[in-house]
Amino acid sequence: MIAAVTTDARRLVVTEVPDPVPGPGEVLLRPLVVGVCGSDLHLFDGDAGALSGAERGLPRIQGHEIAAEVLDDPSGRFAAGTRVAVWPLLTCGTCRLCTAGAVNACPSLRVIGVHLDGGLAGALAVPAANVVPVGDVAPAAAALVEPVSVAVHAVARGRVRPGDRAVVFGGGAVGQGVCLVLADAGVSTLLVDPAPARVRAGALWGAAATTTTTHDGLAAEVDAWSGGQGPDLVVDATGVPSVLDTALHLVRAGGTVVAVGLTSAAGPVHTGLLAAKEVAVLGSSCCTGAEFATAAALVGRWADAVGALPVRRIGLADTVSALSGRDADDVVKTLVDVTG
């Protein structure tokens, strides 16, 4: 099969490799569309600080945001041609976190496309438990189920109720997904991103308000928007360390801050705000299998909005261009047409 293989830091070749052989309980898939995200860029750069263990895995076929169709399921559970998204987590199943249901935080977590070969290839074998049918959702939308699933978990961490207000930093696919999940939950959201195209997309994805003001003047805007109350929840989907400090300043007393952006950088925080406002600060990583299925249903319900997201579509042969640099500001996601 053809595959895009990351052979070394910042080196990728599109080449023929042996077909995968499905093991017991595995389903053979044909990837159709695969999204590229920030964590893919980190791995490609050789900066795996936020992806422990991944740096030892080269050569690697990357790609964990996978829309695919079933080629063969020996168990007969999935018919050939069934369109699916792939929950990309493999967990140990026996540790304290796994047995408590927090499988996404398993210390032995492995991610398809990060620690194991992923979707940027003509075929992929994954455990049946990781295969989630998406009905007739278009492949480009199905590739967005994974970032939306990260948002589903982040919002679950945020403990919101209908009628709450949330500020979301970062209009990438996860931040957009957070707006979508919050809108679906009846929470009013203000999306903050410096790029006009990204806040326009946020308005489509359910953000009630948007702003491109990220520093001076933001506090006043948030104050006016929340009627002087401050938001109940602030979500950092940027991974920029200074955003955490901004979030602590903005959130209402007794509110919650959820950090979902990946970074290996550090930044100063006014720690006194934690006690003074009794803020809960929670990290959020990936999602559970049930949350992934929730995300697939959400993408189906919001198909028009999902289809309107500004994306860049490239062929497998151009994968290196997607991994070599950040997306332009008018694009929220680069999607690789694996079969194109």
In this complex, which beta carbon is closest to Zn ion, that of residue 268 or of residue 325?
Answer: 325
Phi and psi at residue 326, in whole multiples of 5°? Answer: -65, 150
Residue type, 337: D
CA dist list (Å): 104 to 4, 54, 90, 213, 284? 27, 16, 9, 33, 9
Provide the β-strand partners of residue 6.
12, 60
Query: CB of residue 39 vs Zn ion: minimum separation in angstroms?
Result: 5
| Minimum distance, C-beta of residue 65 to Zn ion, in the bound complex (Å) | 6
State the nearest-atom distance from the C-beta of 237 to Zn ion, in Å: 12
How deeply is 133 buried, as exposed, middle or buried, from its count of CB atoms within 10 A (0-12, 13-18, 19+)?
A: middle
Q: Three-class SS of residue 199?
A: helix
Report the interface residues with Zn ion, using CB under 5 A: 37, 39, 91-92, 95, 98, 106
Specify the residue, 91 or 319, whose C-beta has the smaller distance to Zn ion: 91
Q: How far is the CB of 235 from Zn ion (least distance, A)?
A: 16
Nearer to Zn ion, 2 or 95 (CB): 95
Of 104 and 246, nearer to Zn ion (C-beta) is: 104
Q: Which is nearer to Zn ion, 97 or 208 (CB)?
A: 97
- Residue 137 neighbours by CB distance under 10 Å: 23
* Nearest to Zn ion of 91, 294 (CB atom): 91
| Nearest Cα residue to 153 out of 187, 121, 105 | 105
Q: Rounded distance, CA 19 to CA 289, Å?
A: 27
- Angle at Cα 169 formed by Cα 163 and Cα 45, nearest 5°? 145
Residue 295 Cβ vs Zn ion, minimum distance, rounded to whole Å: 13
The least CB distance from residue 248 to Zn ion, in Å, is: 26
